[in-house]
Amino acid sequence: MLHLEEIRQCLAQSGMLWRENENMAAHTTFRIGGPAALFVEVSSAQELSELMAKLHSLSVKPVIIGRGSNLLVSDKGIDAPVICVGEHFSQVSLSSAPERVEADGRTFVYAQSGASLTKLCRFCLEQGLSGLEFAYGIPGTVGGAIAMNAGAYGGEMKDVVVGAHHLTMDGTEKHLWNQELDFGYRHSFYTDHSACILGGWFALKPGSRDEIKALMDENLNKRQTKQPLEYPSAGSTFKRPVGNYASALIDQCGLKGRSVGGAQVSEKHAGFVINTGGATAQDVLDLVAVIQKVVKDQTGYDLECEIKLL
Ligand SMILES: Cc1cc2nc3c(=O)[nH]c(=O)nc-3n(C[C@H](O)[C@H](O)[C@H](O)COP(=O)(O)OP(=O)(O)OC[C@H]3O[C@@H](n4cnc5c(N)ncnc54)[C@H](O)[C@@H]3O)c2cc1C
Protein backbone atom coordinates (compact mmCIF):
# COMPACT_ATOMS: atom_id res chain seq x y z
CA MET A 1 0.00 0.00 0.00
CA LEU A 2 1.31 3.46 -0.89
CA HIS A 3 -0.06 5.46 2.13
CA LEU A 4 -0.20 8.51 -0.14
CA GLU A 5 -1.87 10.85 2.33
CA GLU A 6 0.72 10.28 5.08
CA ILE A 7 3.59 10.66 2.62
CA ARG A 8 2.04 13.88 1.28
CA GLN A 9 1.95 15.31 4.82
CA CYS A 10 5.60 14.43 5.38
CA LEU A 11 6.58 16.00 2.06
CA ALA A 12 4.52 19.13 2.70
CA GLN A 13 6.59 19.73 5.88
CA SER A 14 9.86 19.26 3.98
CA GLY A 15 11.39 21.70 1.52
CA MET A 16 11.63 19.11 -1.24
CA LEU A 17 9.97 19.44 -4.63
CA TRP A 18 7.46 16.70 -5.36
CA ARG A 19 4.76 15.91 -7.87
CA GLU A 20 2.15 13.20 -8.36
CA ASN A 21 1.60 11.12 -11.52
CA GLU A 22 4.85 12.33 -13.00
CA ASN A 23 5.58 11.16 -16.54
CA MET A 24 8.75 9.07 -16.23
CA ALA A 25 9.51 9.33 -19.94
CA ALA A 26 10.66 12.86 -19.14
CA HIS A 27 13.17 11.51 -16.60
CA THR A 28 14.85 8.78 -18.65
CA THR A 29 17.22 9.14 -21.59
CA PHE A 30 15.17 6.40 -23.35
CA ARG A 31 12.18 8.79 -23.23
CA ILE A 32 10.03 5.79 -22.25
CA GLY A 33 7.93 5.05 -19.17
CA GLY A 34 4.51 5.51 -17.59
CA PRO A 35 3.71 7.73 -14.60
CA ALA A 36 5.30 7.57 -11.15
CA ALA A 37 2.72 7.73 -8.36
CA LEU A 38 4.96 10.20 -6.53
CA PHE A 39 8.14 11.89 -7.77
CA VAL A 40 10.42 13.62 -5.27
CA GLU A 41 13.47 15.74 -6.11
CA VAL A 42 16.17 15.65 -3.43
CA SER A 43 17.62 18.95 -2.25
CA SER A 44 18.90 18.14 1.24
CA ALA A 45 20.27 15.06 2.99
CA GLN A 46 18.44 15.92 6.22
CA GLU A 47 15.03 16.14 4.52
CA LEU A 48 15.73 13.00 2.54
CA SER A 49 16.66 11.14 5.71
CA GLU A 50 13.37 12.18 7.33
CA LEU A 51 11.40 11.12 4.26
CA MET A 52 13.15 7.74 4.09
CA ALA A 53 12.52 7.14 7.80
CA LYS A 54 8.84 7.94 7.24
CA LEU A 55 8.58 5.63 4.22
CA HIS A 56 10.34 2.88 6.19
CA SER A 57 7.86 3.26 9.06
CA LEU A 58 5.03 2.81 6.53
CA SER A 59 6.80 -0.20 4.89
CA VAL A 60 6.90 1.72 1.60
CA LYS A 61 10.04 1.12 -0.48
CA PRO A 62 11.05 4.00 -2.74
CA VAL A 63 12.80 3.71 -6.09
CA ILE A 64 16.01 5.76 -6.30
CA ILE A 65 17.07 7.24 -9.62
CA GLY A 66 19.63 9.71 -10.94
CA ARG A 67 19.54 10.92 -14.52
CA GLY A 68 17.64 7.81 -15.70
CA SER A 69 20.32 7.04 -18.31
CA ASN A 70 20.50 3.34 -17.53
CA LEU A 71 16.80 2.70 -16.97
CA LEU A 72 13.83 1.19 -18.76
CA VAL A 73 10.64 2.18 -16.95
CA SER A 74 7.50 0.09 -17.44
CA ASP A 75 4.68 1.49 -19.58
CA LYS A 76 2.42 1.03 -16.54
CA GLY A 77 4.65 3.36 -14.54
CA ILE A 78 5.90 2.99 -11.00
CA ASP A 79 3.50 2.43 -8.13
CA ALA A 80 5.99 3.66 -5.51
CA PRO A 81 7.60 6.96 -4.58
CA VAL A 82 10.44 7.74 -6.99
CA ILE A 83 13.30 9.66 -5.34
CA CYS A 84 15.31 11.51 -7.96
CA VAL A 85 18.79 12.67 -6.94
CA GLY A 86 19.73 15.28 -9.49
CA GLU A 87 20.72 18.88 -10.05
CA HIS A 88 19.33 20.19 -6.74
CA PHE A 89 21.85 17.99 -4.93
CA SER A 90 24.94 18.44 -7.04
CA GLN A 91 27.74 20.29 -5.29
CA VAL A 92 31.32 19.44 -6.21
CA SER A 93 34.30 20.63 -4.15
CA LEU A 94 37.91 19.92 -3.21
CA SER A 95 38.16 17.83 -0.06
CA SER A 96 40.77 16.79 2.47
CA ALA A 97 41.74 13.10 2.48
CA PRO A 98 38.73 11.23 3.83
CA GLU A 99 39.12 9.37 7.09
CA ARG A 100 40.91 5.99 6.70
CA VAL A 101 42.32 6.97 3.26
CA GLU A 102 46.07 7.60 2.75
CA ALA A 103 46.67 10.84 0.79
CA ASP A 104 49.63 9.27 -1.07
CA GLY A 105 50.28 12.38 -3.21
CA ARG A 106 46.68 12.46 -4.40
CA THR A 107 44.12 15.26 -4.33
CA PHE A 108 40.56 14.54 -3.24
CA VAL A 109 37.29 15.78 -4.68
CA TYR A 110 33.91 15.29 -3.05
CA ALA A 111 30.77 15.27 -5.22
CA GLN A 112 27.15 15.07 -4.14
CA SER A 113 25.41 12.19 -5.86
CA GLY A 114 23.16 14.36 -8.03
CA ALA A 115 26.11 16.03 -9.78
CA SER A 116 26.39 15.01 -13.42
CA LEU A 117 29.62 13.29 -14.46
CA THR A 118 30.05 16.15 -16.94
CA LYS A 119 30.04 18.68 -14.09
CA LEU A 120 32.47 16.57 -12.05
CA CYS A 121 34.85 16.06 -15.01
CA ARG A 122 34.81 19.78 -15.85
CA PHE A 123 35.54 20.64 -12.21
CA CYS A 124 38.55 18.30 -12.27
CA LEU A 125 39.75 19.89 -15.52
CA GLU A 126 39.54 23.38 -13.96
CA GLN A 127 41.54 22.13 -10.97
CA GLY A 128 44.13 20.39 -13.18
CA LEU A 129 43.25 16.95 -11.77
CA SER A 130 43.60 13.80 -13.83
CA GLY A 131 41.87 10.41 -13.47
CA LEU A 132 38.26 10.98 -14.52
CA GLU A 133 38.77 11.73 -18.22
CA PHE A 134 37.28 8.32 -19.10
CA ALA A 135 33.93 9.36 -17.61
CA TYR A 136 33.48 12.49 -19.71
CA GLY A 137 30.38 11.99 -21.85
CA ILE A 138 28.74 9.25 -19.76
CA PRO A 139 25.34 10.91 -19.31
CA GLY A 140 24.70 9.92 -15.68
CA THR A 141 25.04 11.28 -12.17
CA VAL A 142 27.73 10.55 -9.61
CA GLY A 143 25.25 8.39 -7.65
CA GLY A 144 24.26 6.36 -10.71
CA ALA A 145 27.89 5.98 -11.75
CA ILE A 146 28.98 4.71 -8.32
CA ALA A 147 25.99 2.35 -8.12
CA MET A 148 26.75 0.95 -11.60
CA ASN A 149 30.56 1.21 -11.38
CA ALA A 150 30.27 3.05 -14.71
CA GLY A 151 33.25 2.77 -17.00
CA ALA A 152 34.59 3.50 -20.45
CA TYR A 153 37.83 3.57 -22.45
CA GLY A 154 39.78 1.55 -19.90
CA GLY A 155 38.62 3.40 -16.77
CA GLU A 156 36.00 2.60 -14.17
CA MET A 157 34.61 4.35 -11.10
CA LYS A 158 36.43 1.80 -8.94
CA ASP A 159 39.77 3.29 -10.06
CA VAL A 160 38.98 6.72 -8.60
CA VAL A 161 36.25 6.36 -5.95
CA VAL A 162 37.82 5.93 -2.49
CA GLY A 163 34.64 6.25 -0.48
CA ALA A 164 30.92 6.92 -0.57
CA HIS A 165 28.19 7.63 1.93
CA HIS A 166 24.53 6.76 1.74
CA LEU A 167 21.26 6.65 3.59
CA THR A 168 19.94 3.20 4.37
CA MET A 169 16.24 2.61 3.75
CA ASP A 170 15.41 3.71 7.31
CA GLY A 171 17.23 7.02 6.77
CA THR A 172 20.45 6.20 8.69
CA GLU A 173 23.69 7.56 7.25
CA LYS A 174 26.55 5.10 6.56
CA HIS A 175 30.03 5.41 5.03
CA LEU A 176 31.80 2.81 2.91
CA TRP A 177 35.50 2.85 2.04
CA ASN A 178 37.58 1.13 -0.63
CA GLN A 179 36.95 -2.63 -0.64
CA GLU A 180 33.62 -2.24 1.17
CA LEU A 181 32.19 -0.75 -2.03
CA ASP A 182 32.53 -4.22 -3.62
CA PHE A 183 33.13 -2.89 -7.13
CA GLY A 184 33.04 -5.31 -10.08
CA TYR A 185 31.98 -5.12 -13.71
CA ARG A 186 28.88 -2.87 -13.63
CA HIS A 187 28.49 -3.93 -10.01
CA SER A 188 28.90 -2.32 -6.59
CA PHE A 189 27.72 -2.79 -3.02
CA TYR A 190 24.60 -0.87 -4.17
CA THR A 191 23.70 -3.55 -6.73
CA ASP A 192 22.86 -5.87 -3.84
CA HIS A 193 21.78 -3.39 -1.11
CA SER A 194 19.02 -0.80 -1.35
CA ALA A 195 20.28 2.63 -0.26
CA CYS A 196 20.39 6.21 -1.45
CA ILE A 197 23.94 7.33 -2.20
CA LEU A 198 24.56 10.88 -0.94
CA GLY A 199 27.98 11.44 -2.46
CA GLY A 200 31.45 10.11 -3.13
CA TRP A 201 35.12 10.95 -2.65
CA PHE A 202 37.39 10.76 -5.69
CA ALA A 203 41.20 10.47 -5.55
CA LEU A 204 42.92 12.22 -8.46
CA LYS A 205 46.44 13.10 -9.51
CA PRO A 206 47.70 16.53 -10.53
CA GLY A 207 48.04 16.74 -14.33
CA SER A 208 48.42 19.13 -17.23
CA ARG A 209 45.15 20.90 -18.06
CA ASP A 210 45.95 20.70 -21.77
CA GLU A 211 46.49 16.94 -21.61
CA ILE A 212 43.39 16.37 -19.48
CA LYS A 213 41.27 18.41 -21.89
CA ALA A 214 42.73 16.66 -24.95
CA LEU A 215 41.81 13.25 -23.52
CA MET A 216 38.31 14.39 -22.53
CA ASP A 217 37.74 15.78 -26.03
CA GLU A 218 39.10 12.61 -27.63
CA ASN A 219 36.74 10.43 -25.56
CA LEU A 220 33.74 12.63 -26.31
CA ASN A 221 34.61 12.60 -30.00
CA LYS A 222 34.75 8.77 -30.01
CA ARG A 223 31.26 8.69 -28.48
CA GLN A 224 29.87 11.16 -31.00
CA THR A 225 31.37 9.20 -33.89
CA LYS A 226 30.44 5.68 -32.79
CA GLN A 227 27.26 5.98 -30.71
CA PRO A 228 23.73 6.82 -31.92
CA LEU A 229 23.50 9.90 -29.70
CA GLU A 230 20.90 11.44 -32.01
CA TYR A 231 18.32 8.92 -30.70
CA PRO A 232 17.03 8.33 -27.16
CA SER A 233 18.55 5.21 -25.60
CA ALA A 234 19.89 3.89 -22.30
CA GLY A 235 23.39 3.26 -23.63
CA SER A 236 24.68 -0.30 -24.01
CA THR A 237 21.70 -2.61 -23.70
CA PHE A 238 23.70 -5.68 -22.66
CA LYS A 239 26.69 -6.40 -20.47
CA ARG A 240 29.88 -7.58 -22.17
CA PRO A 241 29.84 -11.39 -22.12
CA VAL A 242 33.09 -13.03 -21.00
CA GLY A 243 35.42 -13.36 -23.99
CA ASN A 244 33.39 -11.31 -26.46
CA TYR A 245 31.48 -8.06 -27.09
CA ALA A 246 27.69 -7.85 -27.15
CA SER A 247 27.71 -5.42 -30.09
CA ALA A 248 29.99 -7.69 -32.17
CA LEU A 249 27.76 -10.73 -31.53
CA ILE A 250 24.57 -8.80 -32.36
CA ASP A 251 26.15 -7.44 -35.55
CA GLN A 252 27.45 -10.90 -36.51
CA CYS A 253 23.89 -12.25 -36.20
CA GLY A 254 22.65 -9.68 -38.73
CA LEU A 255 20.46 -7.92 -36.18
CA LYS A 256 21.43 -4.30 -36.93
CA GLY A 257 18.27 -2.41 -37.85
CA ARG A 258 15.93 -5.13 -36.46
CA SER A 259 12.96 -3.43 -34.84
CA VAL A 260 9.88 -4.06 -32.76
CA GLY A 261 7.45 -1.12 -32.82
CA GLY A 262 9.51 2.01 -32.17
CA ALA A 263 12.49 0.12 -30.68
CA GLN A 264 15.37 -0.68 -33.01
CA VAL A 265 18.85 -2.17 -32.89
CA SER A 266 20.93 0.84 -33.89
CA GLU A 267 22.45 0.69 -37.39
CA LYS A 268 25.36 2.77 -36.06
CA HIS A 269 26.19 0.68 -32.97
CA ALA A 270 24.61 -2.76 -32.56
CA GLY A 271 25.09 -2.64 -28.78
CA PHE A 272 22.45 0.10 -28.49
CA VAL A 273 18.68 -0.34 -28.67
CA ILE A 274 17.29 3.06 -29.66
CA ASN A 275 13.88 4.67 -29.47
CA THR A 276 13.14 5.76 -33.04
CA GLY A 277 9.96 7.51 -31.86
CA GLY A 278 7.05 6.33 -29.76
CA ALA A 279 8.74 3.13 -28.54
CA THR A 280 7.10 1.51 -25.54
CA ALA A 281 8.90 -0.37 -22.79
CA GLN A 282 7.19 -3.51 -24.13
CA ASP A 283 8.68 -2.86 -27.61
CA VAL A 284 12.15 -2.70 -26.03
CA LEU A 285 11.57 -5.85 -23.95
CA ASP A 286 10.28 -7.76 -26.98
CA LEU A 287 13.27 -6.66 -29.05
CA VAL A 288 15.65 -7.60 -26.23
CA ALA A 289 14.06 -11.08 -26.15
CA VAL A 290 14.52 -11.46 -29.94
CA ILE A 291 18.19 -10.40 -29.69
CA GLN A 292 18.88 -12.77 -26.78
CA LYS A 293 17.28 -15.71 -28.59
CA VAL A 294 18.98 -15.14 -31.96
CA VAL A 295 22.40 -14.55 -30.35
CA LYS A 296 22.03 -17.65 -28.16
CA ASP A 297 20.90 -19.82 -31.09
CA GLN A 298 23.60 -18.62 -33.48
CA THR A 299 26.59 -18.14 -31.17
CA GLY A 300 25.82 -19.88 -27.88
CA TYR A 301 26.36 -16.67 -25.88
CA ASP A 302 23.86 -15.55 -23.22
CA LEU A 303 23.40 -11.78 -23.25
CA GLU A 304 22.51 -10.24 -19.89
CA CYS A 305 20.80 -6.83 -19.76
CA GLU A 306 22.92 -3.97 -18.46
CA ILE A 307 19.87 -1.69 -18.46
CA LYS A 308 17.91 -1.73 -15.19
CA LEU A 309 14.21 -2.51 -15.55
CA LEU A 310 11.78 -0.63 -13.30
C1 LIG B 1 24.21 7.46 -24.71
C2 LIG B 1 24.62 6.72 -23.47
C3 LIG B 1 25.94 6.33 -23.29
C4 LIG B 1 26.32 5.63 -22.14
N5 LIG B 1 27.63 5.27 -22.01
C6 LIG B 1 28.02 4.60 -20.89
C7 LIG B 1 29.39 4.20 -20.72
O8 LIG B 1 30.26 4.49 -21.54
N9 LIG B 1 29.71 3.51 -19.60
C10 LIG B 1 28.79 3.18 -18.65
O11 LIG B 1 29.15 2.55 -17.64
N12 LIG B 1 27.49 3.55 -18.79
C13 LIG B 1 27.08 4.24 -19.87
N14 LIG B 1 25.77 4.61 -20.02
C15 LIG B 1 24.78 4.19 -18.99
C16 LIG B 1 24.58 5.22 -17.86
O17 LIG B 1 24.85 6.55 -18.30
C18 LIG B 1 25.44 4.91 -16.64
O19 LIG B 1 25.14 3.63 -16.11
C20 LIG B 1 25.25 5.94 -15.52
O21 LIG B 1 26.21 5.74 -14.53
C22 LIG B 1 23.85 5.88 -14.87
O23 LIG B 1 23.69 7.05 -14.07
P24 LIG B 1 22.25 7.67 -13.81
O25 LIG B 1 22.40 8.80 -12.88
O26 LIG B 1 21.57 7.96 -15.10
O27 LIG B 1 21.54 6.46 -13.08
P28 LIG B 1 20.07 5.88 -13.32
O29 LIG B 1 19.95 5.38 -14.71
O30 LIG B 1 19.07 6.85 -12.86
O31 LIG B 1 20.10 4.61 -12.34
C32 LIG B 1 20.94 3.51 -12.62
C33 LIG B 1 21.04 2.64 -11.36
O34 LIG B 1 21.72 3.38 -10.35
C35 LIG B 1 20.90 3.52 -9.20
N36 LIG B 1 21.11 4.87 -8.65
C37 LIG B 1 21.11 6.04 -9.32
N38 LIG B 1 21.35 7.06 -8.47
C39 LIG B 1 21.48 6.51 -7.23
C40 LIG B 1 21.71 7.02 -5.92
N41 LIG B 1 21.87 8.33 -5.68
N42 LIG B 1 21.75 6.15 -4.90
C43 LIG B 1 21.58 4.81 -5.09
N44 LIG B 1 21.38 4.27 -6.30
C45 LIG B 1 21.32 5.10 -7.36
C46 LIG B 1 19.47 3.31 -9.67
O47 LIG B 1 18.65 2.81 -8.63
C48 LIG B 1 19.67 2.28 -10.78
O49 LIG B 1 19.77 0.98 -10.26
C50 LIG B 1 25.36 5.31 -21.15
C51 LIG B 1 24.03 5.72 -21.34
C52 LIG B 1 23.66 6.42 -22.46
C53 LIG B 1 22.23 6.85 -22.62
CA distance 297 to 303: 12
What separation in Å is there between the alpha carbon of 6 and the centre of ligand 1?
Answer: 31
- pTM equals 0.97
Probe residue for ligand 1, chosen from 148, 183, 187, 269 as the CB with the greatest number of ligand atoms within 8 Å: 148
pLDDT (tens digit per residue) in 119-175: 999 999 999 999 999 999 999 999 999 999 999 999 999 999 999 999 999 999 999
Q: Which residues line ligand 1 (CB under 6 A)?
A: 29, 64-71, 85, 113, 138-141, 143-145, 147-148, 150-152, 190, 195-197, 227, 229, 233-235, 308
For residue range 60-69, list pLDDT tens digits in order: 999 999 999 9
Cβ(87)–Cβ(48) below 8 Å:
no
- Render pLDDT for 213-258 as a digit per residue (tens, 0 to 9): 999 999 999 999 999 999 999 999 999 999 999 999 999 999 999 9
Q: How far apart are CA 285 and CA 53, in angstroms?
A: 34
Rounded to whole angstroms, the Cα distance separating 61 from 44 reads 19
Q: How many other C-beta atoms lie within 10 A of the C-beta of residue 230?
A: 10
Inter-CA distances, 105 with 92, 203, 227, Å: 20, 10, 36
High-pLDDT (> 90) share of the chain, %: 91
Q: Is 14 known to be catalytic? A: no
Q: 148 C-alpha to center of ligand 1: Å?
A: 6
Domains of the chain: 4-84 (3.30.43.10), 90-216 (3.30.465.10), 229-309 (3.90.78.10)
Task: Tell me whether residue 41 is one of the annotated catalytic residues.
Answer: no
Position 101 confidence tier, pLDDT thresholds 50, 70, 90: confident
Q: What is the pLDDT of residues 50-61, one digit of tens each?
A: 999 999 999 999
